[in-house]
Amino acid sequence: MSRTLLTPQELAETLITLPDWDIVSSGKAIRRLFTFKDFNAAFGFMTRIAMYAEKLDHHPEWSNVYNKVEVTLTTHSSHGITKLDIQMAEIMDRLGG
Domains of the chain in sequence order:
8-96 (3.30.1360.20)
3-state secondary structure of 42: helix
Distance CA(77)–CA(36), nearest Å, equals 31
pLDDT tens string 61-77: 999 999 999 999 999 99
Instruction: State the pLDDT at residue 3.
Output: 85
What global pTM score does this model have? 0.94
What pLDDT band is residue 9 in, cutting at 50, 70 and 90?
Answer: very high
Residues 6 or more apart whose Cβ sits within 8 Å of residue 50: none
Q: Tell me how far the alpha carbon of residue 30 is from its chain's centroid.
A: 7
